Amino acid sequence: MRGTDQQQGHVFSYISPEQRVRKDHPLRPIRTIVDKVLKELSPEFNKMYSKVGRPSIPPEQLLRALLLQMLYSVRSERLLIEEIDYNILFRWFVGLNLDDAVWDATVFTKNRDRLLEAEVAKEFLALVVEQARGQGWASDEHFTVDGSLLEAWASAKSFQPKNKKGSPPDDPGNPTVDYRGEKRSNETHESKSDPEAQMARKGAGKEAKLSYSGNLLVENRNGLIVNSRVWEATGTAERYAALEMLQELPGSGRVTVGGDKGFDTADFVRECRNMWVTPHVAQNLGRRGGSAIDSRTTRQGGYVISQKKRKRIEECFGWLKTIALMRKVRHRGTLKVDWIFTLACAAYNLVRMRNLMRSVVPT
């Protein structure tokens, strides 16, 4: 596009963000996938916002901005708005021209809260997985489940006795708390900042932190995340979340599911078999009563392959916690944490699918 400066008589050229971004930029294939998904979600977006009052931020742009925050590890939404303001690449991905005004950070947060109330994240993840299946990248028969702790946005000082009024703190901003000799548990205590967060630890000898349980269902062909769940961090959350995700798998054929020793329980194995799911979990021979699976399962070649493939799920958790900033969540409440965790899983799939596109050898 060309124009003329009438005062100086100069001819200038306007180059859009689309023209400024390189044709081979890594974000281009990701945006192509996102465009297809948002087009299918358009009818859902039309129901979310009222047609009266001040214009709101389009939900499509909100989702694109949140994806950028996860893809580029932007630590806060205020910094994200600043990046969109001066970064041409970010403007192009979100869908803003160079002269378009960028939203205020508080307006962005308020509109984002409206988006959190809808089931957009799960639909977004499902449509991304559907595209992967259309390309033959996702398996419909072999899966892996696992869970990990997500640190909550609450401090240990907020973990106080339930329904007990104490004396006023010596320092309201940073009170002095002495837990020596006090027995604390999730039954008697709760966080005043995030009551749904539970005190949990990764293993014996590890420190306990207020956390949520983030759970994944990953297919074994290319390690794409098929489903996700965030539950309260209880001792059985991983197994119950895994059964719920397995129950939502499409189709009626028999599938296999791999897992670590934590899934080697009689209840989990029995429920899997009732759902026509073959449990390829690691044997926990040290538990009382022995392993819940025997040589009829472990002698099969598919069991050995499932045990090798299940390590890929750790790559998913590693990316989510380091790149997508899920090591310590910035939202409170199970529903909000589940929403943002699901969108982060979709962002991981976008990166994985982009890499798969590059690995395809043209014929």
What tokens appear for 33 in the block? 């996938």
Q: CB-side exposure of 46: number of CA atoms within 13 Å?
A: 5
What tokens appear for 135 in the block? 């390309």
User: Virtual CA dihedral for 144, 147, 153, 156, nearest 10 degrees?
Assistant: -170
- Rounded CA-CA distance 303/274 in Å is 19
Q: How far, CA to CA in Å, does 292 sit from each of 146, 295, 354?
A: 18, 10, 39
Q: What are phi and psi of 244, to 5 degrees?
A: -65, -40
Q: What are phi and psi of 230, to 5 degrees?
A: -120, 120
| DSSP letter, residue 273 | H
* pLDDT tens, per residue, the chain with 363 residues: 444 455 555 555 566 777 777 778 889 999 999 999 999 998 888 777 666 666 678 889 999 999 999 999 999 999 999 999 999 999 999 999 888 889 998 988 888 887 887 789 999 999 999 999 999 999 999 999 999 999 999 988 888 888 776 666 666 667 777 677 678 888 888 898 999 999 998 877 788 899 999 999 999 999 999 999 999 999 899 999 999 999 999 887 889 999 999 999 999 999 999 999 999 999 988 888 889 998 888 898 999 999 999 999 999 999 999 999 999 999 999 999 999 999 999 999 999 999 999 886 554
What tokens appear for 281 in the block? 């979990």
Checking DSSP bridges between strand 142-151 and strand 255-259, what pairing results, if any?
A: parallel
What tokens appear for 49 in the block? 């916002």
